[in-house]
Structure 1
Amino acid sequence: MELEVLQAYALSVYQSFSELKLSYRISIILLIPFVYNLLWQLYCSVRRDRVPLVFHWIPWFGSAVNFGMRPYEFFEECREKYGDVFAFVLLGKVMTVYLGPKGHEFVFNAKLSDVSAEEAYKHLTTPVFGKGVIYDCPNSKLMEQKKFAKFALTTDSFRTYVPKIREEMISYIKSHFKTNENDSGKVNVLVSQPEITILTASRSLMGDEMRKRFDTSFAKLYTDLDKGFTPINFVFPHLPLPQYWRRDAAQQKISNTYLSLISHRRNTGDIVPSRDLIDSLMSNSTYKDGVKMTDQEIANLLIGILMGGQHTSAATSSWFLLHLGDKTHLQEDLYKELTELLASTKGDIYDLTYDDLQKLTLHNNVIKETLRMHMPLHSIFRKVMNPLKVPDSNYVVPKGHHVLVSPGYSMTSERFFPQADKFDPYRWEKMAEAANDATNQSNLDKTVDYGFGAISKGVSSPYLPFGGGRHRCIGEQFAYVQLTTILATFVYNFRWKLADKMPLVDYASMVTLPIEEDSNIIWEKRDTCVI
């Protein structure tokens, strides 16, 4: 009987609606989402078990514009109003933010059963990396994939990488800066650094044979892959748009390039586990359950490994060249440090070794400071798999929502770093505790092994440029080897200055890049230039 009454009432409402003028009907249809949005926000505001929700007028879009264009300013404005814990709507998804070191602990050390990076990212990353790797597999397999990759990230490997990185960089500069013809010139670092990064990484990690199959066009292909990591891809991973077609074409071409070499080595039996990362994976990629990675999965993992470092190192080296172009006196400090070290060994830039890199304190601090000001990924997400209680509160994050943490916010906040907007590598001589490799002194003896080797469990530092927990980047040491070699080679051979003003940050993608049109430097040869 009740069902019949409801049906009759619904029919009556529909008839009344259909009798309205067309303009009224359209207005009501358009108004309903806004009314629902306001009522839903009102409901959330009276629930004491929900974190404060940032008010928004536009349904579904929520705070996407403010977050996408100015994330750190948006976070700070919300913090001042709501505190360190708040939520906002991002393209239909509810994101619960916890700012600061306590937030790092809350998200990075959350139980695997409670939060999932795979569920947060797999629809975004699978079209870029390919199937069966990174987030397109259970977390246990990802941990084993990290372990497979670490065969090529040893100290002995790093010692062989330094001369290869230097050689690739010098060859690139001779060709593209035309140093045989010019003593000075102008270059856009957003063009040069992605190309230098991809060539140096492919030569060192992938080996000489794969490097011969690469050229600077592969930097453009990786840029096309990078553009698969934008907010719109986060919600709509497959759309009939040119940027999606370029992403898919780039993935296919790079994957086929790896597969061609893998197939050649399989067919000829030319596999030397210690030769390069490709052979290492071909020899050491059997999971604990006895299942071997397929060659296609190895190719896909190689894309993920190279890309994981390519876009972050390219962004970091671009930024430190720009900052040093803005503060040219720091170049002279770096030059003094470098030449004094080389003089002590009676060598030049061609004699710089891996062990020497560890002695270049200011060089390493320039990289550290660049990462502080420009963490490549401004926000890190996890999907909530079970209701998640926020510590020391009554708040519960519901299943299906997302949690968001932003080490980049902490690293650029005055609360944790005095004069946070000032590029000052010397601050690290005064802040040893913050530089303690993403951990506090009290946590130095606390480690955990997620399957790819012991790492620090402590994530309560405000300085976490390589993330934390089970998803912490395994390429941190390689990044420093690559970036320090690139920086030292620049410093030894050139002086440079900004061609224009110091560029602002472009947050259009999820990688924090400088605005391209303002990213030019003017270089000139030093007396010691060997290029």
Structure 2
Amino acid sequence: MASFLNSTNTGEWTTYLEQAGLAELNTRNILLALGSMPIIAIVLNVISQLLPADPSKPPLVFHWLPFVGSAVQYGMDPLTFFAENQRKFGNVFTFVLFGRKVTVCLGPQGNNFVLGGKSTVFNAEDAYQHLTAPIFGDDVVYAIPNEKFMEQKKFVKWALNTDAFRSYAGLIEHEATEFLNHDSNYKAYQSGKTDEWGTVDALEMLAELTILTAARTLQGKEIRSRMDKTFAHTLSDLDGGFVPINFLFRNLPLPHNWRRDAAHKKISQFYVDIIKRRRENRRDDEAEYDIVNALRDQKYRGGDPVTDSEVGHMLIALLMAGQHTSMSTGSWTLLHIAADPELGEKLFAEQVQHFRRPDGTWNPITYDETKDLPLLDAVIRETLRIHPPIHSILRHVRDNVPVPQSLSAPSENGTYVIPKGYYVLASPAMSQTDATVWDRPFEFDYTRWTDNTGFAAQALNEYTDESGEKIDFGFGAVSKGTNSPYQPFGAGRHRCIGEQFAYLQLSTIISKFLQELELRMDTPVPRNNYQTMIATPDSPRMIRYRRRTPAN
């Protein structure tokens, strides 16, 4: 070694060691710099929030992490997040959600401001197309201009009229009966024994049953007959695309997105094949005239026919829209009934009064009878009040918009202005549990809906506005309902057109279950799970059931 160091290359080796040391030092400095960048970003983010804010903009919720903002707090429990900031800032404030600035407008006035706003200013398509287009398709719902979407809503309303509802009640009851008689979860019922208890997951049960009833009624006999276990699994993969992260990022390379895209392609082709076959064979008299035929024959105002792709994608949207709200609300309703045996017996007595024959058998459930079940109606409405499926409704702001002084305290420069490029958020869930509006807002009290002169009845009348002025957004005259503190199906131009169908579906399914089963729970009614786009009951959500005796 000594002879090597004393060789003529000693200088070169020394230079090499010096360079290597410098390189090591530079690498260490770079790593330290990279490691400190998040800390620097957090510090700069905090400093920027401590500097004087623009008084013309709504106050900003403090957040430590840049870009991420308040996403964690909002995502874990949005209503608690809203309530805490409402106490600090009032009804109008802004929070950062993965780089987007979202201005929350709370209370009935906030709902009216956001949901009653013009679509050219508060735009739903900009807000939701990242989420819905990969699931429904790029040529329907929020992936197209609002005017065309309103026309498609009008086409779909073919399946949502009173005559159709009268035919649906028997179909829904039949599906519910077949479900009890043949589903493997109901062995305790199928045994015929009235002292044998079984258990079932409320949400899983309603998820399956509502998709079957929606398919049979809204899509017809042929499509329902093709819905086997394979179709159900494919639909579940498609439904897996409804996750909050996809609202922000459409095509992240994640397994649930790969499954979503494969499922969309498969189900789209399923519908298109049916449509093409029917276009080639126009002998509709040989088949049930259903929504497939109705949509296939539609034309837009300009004269362009609806394409096969659009029909297929509207059918996907119709099927899934016919499931989500009913799945959530139905499971919550059964959980509350199971948690209160006295309520269950009162509801059963109502069923006996309306449907029981003298010999102990049951008359068919009809649409007109479901509209005359005041106790069941009150239970469903209270469920929708305290457990609304959608807690936040977003719009993208296309132009600077001043906030009405009646909605929040004026800023130093007058009213707040929500800048172009922000998002606005309304939360009917907050107004439906507002302690300044509702008595005992978080208590499940169905009796508030049985008082025809009480506050709940007034809120419902304002929402339905049966005798008031109707507005036609392009798909038929509806009540705006944007001023009501009770908005279980949204309000304004994007109010759910399947509202009446959902009530029929829920009333019929729950009526059949009440007629056939006693329900109990061994655990409290679960908390809300906000980790999905639709607020659902968290686990555990197991219901115990047993077959009713013919005499009780």
- Say yes or no: TM over 0.5: yes
- The alignment partner of 1:495 has SS state of strand
Confirm whether residue 110 of structure 1 aligns to residue 117 of structure 2.
yes
Q: Which of 246, 249, 260 is residue 233 of structure 1 equivalent to? A: 246
Deviations 1:15-47 (A, max 9, x none): xxx89933542245333422342244345x521
Deviates more, 1:106-115 or 1:343-352: 343-352
Letter in 1 for 2:118: K
Find the partner of 1:35 among 32, 37, 43.
43
Alignment of 1:47-58 (within 5 A): 47-58=54-65
Structure 2 residue identity aligned to 1:411: Q
Superposition RMSD in Å:
2.3
| Residue pair 2:463, 2:487 contacting (<8 A) in 1 also | yes
Q: What CA distance in whole angstroms lies between the structure 2 residues aligned with 1:283 and 1:19?
A: 68
Which range is displaced more, 63-72 or 34-43?
34-43
Q: Tell me the CA shift for residue 311 of structure 1.
A: 1.2
Match of 2:544 among 502, 514, 522: 522
Report how far residue 234 of structure 1 moved.
1.4
- Normalising by structure 2, report the TM-score: 0.88
- When structure 1 is superposed on structure 2, of 294-303 and 427-436 the one drifting more is 427-436
State how far apart, in whole Å, the 1-side matches of 2:356 and 2:27 are: 90
- In the alignment, structure 2 segments of 5+ residues that lack a partner are 1-25
Partner of 2:137: 130
Residues 450 and 274 of structure 1, relative CA distance in 2, 3 Å threshold: farther
Select between 222-231 and 199-208 the one with higher mean Cα deviation: 222-231
- The alpha-carbon deviation at position 510 of structure 1 amounts to 1.3
Is 1:405 the equivalent of 2:426?
yes
Give the partner amino acid of 1:158: F
Report the Cα distance in structure 1 between the residues aligned to 2:121 and 2:161, rounded to whole angstroms. 33
2:395 to 369, 382, 386: 382
What displacement does 1:456 show? 1.2
C-alpha distance in 2 between matches for 1:501 and 1:280? 46
Q: Determine which of 81, 84, 90 is the counterpart of 1:74.
A: 81
For residues 119-178 of structure 1, give each alpha carbon's deviation from its aligned partner in whole angstroms, at most 9, with x where no partner exists. Answer: 001111100101100011100000000000001111000010011001011111111113
1:372-426 superposed Cα distances (whole Å, 9 cap, x missing partner): 1111111110000001111114111111110001101111232222122222211
Kindly provide the CA deviation profile for residues 326-357 of structure 1, in whole angstroms up to 9, marking residues without a partner as x. 11211111111111112589995442211111
Q: Deviations over 1:71-97 (max 9, x none)?
A: 111110010111011110111111100
Which one has the largest radius of gyration?
2
Question: Which range moved further: 86-95 or 262-271?
Answer: 262-271
1:477 corresponds in structure 2 to 500
Q: Secondary structure at the match of 2:85?
A: helix
Per-residue deviation at 1:217?
4.8
Tell me, in whole angstroms, the C-alpha distance in 1 between the residues paired with 2:255 and 2:437.
Answer: 42
CA distance in 2, matches of 1:345, 1:474: 39
Number of the residue aligned with 1:258: 271
Name the counterpart of 1:155. Answer: 162
1:169-205 residue CA offsets vs partner (Å, 9 max, x unmatched): 1111111113332533111122211110010110111
- Structure 1 runs of 4+ aligned residues shifted over 6 Å read 344-347
Say if 1:199 and 1:215, in contact at 8 Å, map to a contact too. Answer: no
**1:144 corresponds to:** 151
Distance of 1:529 and 1:111 partners within structure 2 = 57
CA deviation profile, 1:291-330 (whole Å, cap 9, x unmatched): 1221111101111111112111111111111111111211
- Tell whether the 8 Å contact from 2:360 to 2:551 is kept in structure 1 after alignment: no
Contact kept in structure 1, 2:360 and 2:550, CA below 8 Å: no
For 1:438, the aligned partner's letter is: Y
Unaligned 5+ runs, structure 1: 1-17
Q: Scaled by the length of structure 1, what TM-score is found?
A: 0.91
Return 258-267 or 220-229, whichever deviates more.
220-229
1:114–1:386 CA contact under 8 A, matched in 2: yes
The residue aligned with 2:262 is 249
Write the letter of the residue equivalent to 1:275.
Y
**In structure 2, do the counterparts of structure 1 residues 346 and 279 end up closer, same or farther at CA, with 3 Å as the change threshold?**
farther
Contact 2:218 2:318 in 1 (8 A): no
Give runs of aligned pairs for residues 407-446 of structure 1, distance below 5 A. 407-430=428-451, 431-436=456-461, 438=463, 444-446=467-469
Q: 1:459 aligns with which of 482, 490, 494?
A: 482
Matched, 1:283 2:297: yes
Please tell me the residue identity of whatever aligns with 2:423.
H
Contact 1:349 1:489 survives alignment (8 Å): no
Within a 5 Å distance, the mapping from 1:301-316 to structure 2 comes to 301-316=314-329
Question: Is the 1:108–1:468 contact (alpha carbons within 8 Å) kept by the matching residues of 2?
Answer: yes
* Cα distance, 1:389–1:180 mapped onto 2, change above 3 Å: same
Cα offset for 1:114? Answer: 0.8
Distance 1:467 1:347, change over 3 A: farther
Q: For the structure 1 residues 419 and 219, does the alpha-carbon distance in structure 2 shift closer, same or farther, using more than 3 Å as the test? A: farther
Structure 1 residues 196 and 64: CA distance shift in structure 2, 3 A: same
Find the aligned partners of 2:74 and 2:551 in 1 and give their Cα distance: 44
Structure 1 position 281, deviation (Å): 0.7
